[in-house]
Structure 1
Amino acid sequence: MDPVAEVFKPADVEAKVLEYERYINDVLKRDLQKTLQQLDTIHMECIEYMNTKAVIDSVIENGIGSNLKTKYDLGCNFYVTAKIPDTSMVFVRIGLGIYLEYTLPEATEFIQGQIEKLESGAKELDEKIVKIRAFIKLTLEALRELQGISADPEKERREFVL
């Protein structure tokens, strides 16, 4: 006899199934979505810092000290031409809408630190995502077992002989 059937009555099984399904949909999937959004935000911020670092490195390598002409994205791929008279100092966003003026080497060092910090945060979120997905699988497995559905997909398949 089925060990689950010995412990739970059919009405109890249905109640438990609904409870697990609600937990998966209302808690686990919501947590997974929120964590994936946080990860996307970190990746976008990291890309911004990497692009800024690439521009600063280009200015340093090419020795551009004054009269730099560039295009600046105002948003939605709408660009304006900008002329920078002095490239020895740059403003870098340090957080909370605050910008700080740095020399090019200082800016590169700060940006590299921010990139490392963001990558560390992304790694932690990746681990959290893996744990949430594993817990979803575990809960689905408990549901399968509770409902008495076979875990072996080979048993479910039909074989056709020609």
Structure 2
Amino acid sequence: MSNSSPEGGQAIRLDSLSAQQLSQLKKQLDGELEHLTTSYQSLVRAQAKFRDCLKSISTGLTSQKPDTQILVPLTSSLYVPGKLADVEKVIVDVGTGFYVEKTTSDATKFYETKVEELGANLKDLGKIVEGKEGNVRVIEDALRQKVMSGQNAQAGAEKEGT
């Protein structure tokens, strides 16, 4: 019985490991799986924010005229009143606190590209998570077999002793 990770990790003969080593390996994989799952959820949230930006451009600007009263978000729960100065240009957060002025069509392309990139990353990360989950199941099975064989050997020794 052996196990190799989908990203080309080394193979381990699970039947050569002790129950304690299998337990430690499972604990390590559980930690990796938790980290990957958290990363996956963060990517999903980022993709949703980019989709919201696309929606804001398509529904919030195209139907408006300059000098329209709007609420400008300062935080997720704090908005201030403002006036729409230009419906053809927007300020886009390109990351790490940098903002760039773009036309609405360029901003739309930017956000669509981000959504697609994150979709590809999510697909790749999903495959890795599935592989890790499979590895955890294999290790759990090997650990279960190791514990049961140890119990059976102990029971057989007790019968011979009586």
Q: TM-score, normalised by structure 1?
A: 0.74
Amino acid at match of 1:65: K
**Cross-structure match for 1:137:** 137
Q: Deviations over 1:84-128 (max 9, x none)?
A: 222221111222222211100111111101100011111111111
Equivalent in the alignment of 2:26: 24
Q: Could you tell me whether the CA contact under 8 Å between 2:66 and 2:84 is conserved in 1?
A: yes
* C-alpha deviation, 1:57, in angstroms: 0.6
1:20-66 Cα shifts (integer Å, max 9, x gaps): 111111x111111111111111111111111111011114542x231
Contact 2:22 2:139 in 1 (8 A): yes
The answer to whether the 8 Å contact 2:62/2:87 transfers is no
Counterpart position of 1:5: none
Q: How does 1:49-128 map to 2 (within 5 A)?
A: 49-59=50-60, 61-62=62-63, 64-75=64-75, 77-128=77-128
State the AA in 1 paired with 2:88.
S
Q: TM-score, normalised by structure 2?
A: 0.74
- Residue number in structure 1 paired with 2:46: 45
Q: Which runs of 5+ in 2 are unaligned?
A: 1-14, 150-162
Judge conservation of contact 2:65–2:84 (CA < 8 Å) in 1.
Answer: no
Kindly, what percent of the aligned residue pairs are identical? 19
Q: Distance in 2 between matches of 1:83 and 1:61?
A: 15
How many residues of Structure 1 are paired with residues of Structure 2 in the alignment? 134
- In 2, Cα distance between equivalents of 1:92 and 1:75: 16
CA distance in 1 between counterparts of 2:135 and 2:19 reads: 16
Confirm whether residue 36 of structure 1 aligns to residue 37 of structure 2.
Answer: yes
Contact 1:17 1:143 in 2 (8 A): yes
Distance in structure 2 (CA, Å) of the matches to 1:61 and 1:76? 23
Contact 1:68 1:87 in 2 (8 A): no
Deviates more, 1:105-114 or 1:90-99: 90-99
RMSD over equivalenced CA pairs, Å? 2.0
The code of the aligned residue for 2:46 comes to: E
